[in-house]
Structure 1
Amino acid sequence: MAEKLGEYRRKRRPGRTPEPIPEREGTAGSDDLFVIQEHHASSLHWDVRLERDGVLVSWAVPKGLPMSPDLERLAVHTEDHPMDYLTFEGEIPAGEYGGGTMTIWDTGRYETLHFNEHKVEIVFHGKRARGKYLFLNVKKDGNDRGWLLKRLDPADPGRAELPSFLAPMLSKPGRLPSTGEDAEWAYEFDWSGRRTLIRVTGGRITAYDDSGDDVTGLYPEFRGLGEQLGATETFLDGEIVVFDGGKPSAEGLGHRARATKNSAKRLTSRFPAFYLVNDLLHLDGRSCLGTPYVERRDLLDGLGLAGPHWQVPRYYLGDGGAVARAAREHGLAGIVAKRAGSAYHPGRRTGEWLSITGTFVQQVVLGGWRPGGGSRAGTFSSLLLGVPHEDGLRYIGNVGVGFAGDELEELSRRLFRLERKTSPFRSVPDKQARDARWSRPTIVGEVVFGGWTDGGCLRNPRWRGLLPDVTADEVELDG
């Protein structure tokens, strides 16, 4: 035993490392225990250890166990470890051999089919490690440290292989959904970044731009994302953003996008890049493409992704008007609306995702209407809109478009019941007041519009819907 653990002892200093350094030799057991440890050392790898003749025969596997028989992985044979290592987890101090964090990825029993210095064939019976595997000593140049690790049996039933590439789903330009549809939509901020999909396997990332080009080398600061995910196999969708003063910088992003692999490292300090993740397309043998958007986001949140150069910005279910206002207040280009139940369609542009830019949103109080004619006879042609002011409503314009279905009739009935003889506005232009009918200012709605006129009125307003949970005295002028 002393000879078997000799190299292990020589590489470790008692009192400097929390690793077990047993004084006594171990005794042979049943030769059927294993442990796989995720080791965040100078380079992420997984240590596979098999009980054999009183020690743990060990290999370092840089990319972890292959889950498919189509994959082969390098396995570096390392020194035998003591049996106490079966339960070891901890932080090995920097400067010590193997310095870094070590956690147990899986542990359990294995079955031996063949075991010698050239070939090890076993069956794992763990929680995560399951199946038949072959360790094969390739012995190059007399070096017996180089082995290959391969899965021999088929992948687990129902397991979906991690795609080599997925094209991003695209949005269509569109309008902000109505308030009546709000609950069916989720909203994200548009960060004006470069659309980038990241494939993660074996703790390593591959980043693809929206054309499918490999841009991994242009963003060295994202390497830690793969290490944080460890053995998790996943495909992420997001955008790369460079910030300046807390706002997206097109100039900074341009510098990073035009960089070479050599210049990218120099630019990381001047124009640091951030990966904002907003979707999950694949997770540990499961395709998420058909999973509804909000469920994909729940899975994404469950990964706990947060790092110095990556994060998962929150999304907002409903309340698109507030999200659009917040985007404008923070100087963002706009928002993206996604149907809460939408699947992910790689490479397709679909109306289930809407890109909404240049949109102002304003809550309004209805103070009257102009009677309708023709197809709108018996209802209204437009609504007179205002916001509360200390001596009455301040008039900010009329809206006559954007009403869906039976909304015209329903609004008309409500307004007619609230009709009064005098105007609730401080003043209204003569052209609008000439045939106007007035109502008590209690109904609150929301409009989208293209900006403000020099006279302080809404430019090209469009009705979005009623806001039944907002009272008139809560309405304020935005912008």
Structure 2
Amino acid sequence: MPELKGPVWLMQPIPYWGEELQGEWIYEPKYDGWRLQVIRYRDGRVELWGRRLEKRPNWTERLAFLSERAGELFPEGILLDAELCSDRGRDFVVSLFSRRPRAKPLVYVFDVIFYGGEFVGDRSLFERKKILEGLGFADPFFMVRGERLRDIKEALASALERGHEGIVIKETGSPYELGLDGPIATLYWRKIKGTLYGPQKREG
């Protein structure tokens, strides 16, 4: 059983090619930001890391304002999978690392990998979302709940209309798979961008 000792290789989605899906799925907006893992250890320390661990992306000090806020909001022994965005779009995410950010941070949390110091990736996505629902989210951290997937084209069109680059669909009974030496690209998460079904028409 994995232990919470530090950052992990975050699971990655693969493209969806239109095949028939089995089981129950949800969809989430595909946020256009930088992948972020939020860790609060059992001793109360907080660390913020990116996903490309081979580059040692420890962002704790450079995002000190987010580290402090995470320590106020989240319990000890937790590791959250999230996306770091800005209210001015992806191009301004890098400014969040400066002393004078030119945008407001927005952190969208969509999964939990450790909770209470224990690995919960062996639980279903549905159960992990329930854990997230019990946390005390507040600005600038927001929970991504996901919506039941009924029609992929409609879900994609809705996300595009709201300004997202696409959607990520996820199987609700799926585990969170951790890689030992690199990220696992999983069939349980499938990313769909606006080009899959051809150009999307937007009104207005």
Question: Fold conserved (TM > 0.5)?
Answer: yes
1:357 aligned partner: 193
**TM-score normalized by structure 2?**
0.84
Contact 1:196 1:207 in 2 (8 A): yes
Percent sequence identity is 24
Gaps of 5+ in 2: none
2:72 aligned partner: 227
| CA shift digits 1:433-456 (9 cap, x unpaired) | xxxxxxxxxxxxxxxx3027xxxx
Structure ranking higher on relative contact order (CA contacts 8 Å, 6+ apart): 2
**TM-score normalized by structure 1?**
0.38
CA distance change for structure 1 residues 451 and 266 in 2, over 3 Å: closer, same or farther? closer
CA positional deviation for 1:199: 0.9
Runs of 4+ in 1 over 6 A off after TM superposition: none
1:327 aligned partner: 159
| CA shift digits 1:396-446 (9 cap, x unpaired) | xxxxxxxxxxxxxxxxxxxxxxxxxxxxxxxxxxxxxxxxxxxxxxxxxxx
Q: Quick check: 1:302 aligned with 2:146? A: no
Corresponding residue SS for 1:165? coil
Corresponding residue SS for 2:92? helix
2:48 aligned partner: 207
Q: Quick check: 1:318 aligned with 2:149? A: yes
More strand by share: 1
CA positional deviation for 1:171: 0.8
Q: Distance in 1 between matches of 2:202 and 2:94?
A: 33
CA positional deviation for 1:349: 0.5
Q: Determine which of 93, 96, 116 is the counterpart of 1:253.
A: 93
Report the number of matched residues.
193
Q: Distance in 2 between matches of 1:189 and 1:204?
A: 30
CA distance change for structure 1 residues 316 and 177 in 2, over 3 Å: closer, same or farther? farther
Corresponding residue SS for 1:217? coil
**Paired residue type of 1:238:** A
CA positional deviation for 1:197: 0.8
Gaps of 5+ in 1: 1-158, 361-448, 453-476
**Paired residue type of 2:187:** G
2:120 aligned partner: 288
Contact 2:73 2:136 in 1 (8 A): no
Structure with the greater alpha carbon radius of gyration = 1
Contact 2:74 2:136 in 1 (8 A): no
1:195 aligned partner: 35
Contact 2:161 2:202 in 1 (8 A): no
How big is the alpha-carbon RMSD for the aligned residues of Structure 1 and Structure 2? 2.3
CA distance change for structure 1 residues 167 and 287 in 2, over 3 Å: closer, same or farther? same
Q: Distance in 2 between matches of 1:348 and 1:303?
A: 27
Q: Determine which of 145, 157, 174 is the counterpart of 1:342.
A: 174
Corresponding residue SS for 1:266? coil
1:450 aligned partner: 198
**Paired residue type of 1:253:** V
Q: Distance in 2 between matches of 1:326 and 1:203?
A: 40
1:37 aligned partner: none
Q: Distance in 1 between matches of 2:103 and 2:5?
A: 31
Corresponding residue SS for 1:162? coil
Corresponding residue SS for 2:122? coil
Corresponding residue SS for 1:265? coil
Corresponding residue SS for 2:29? strand
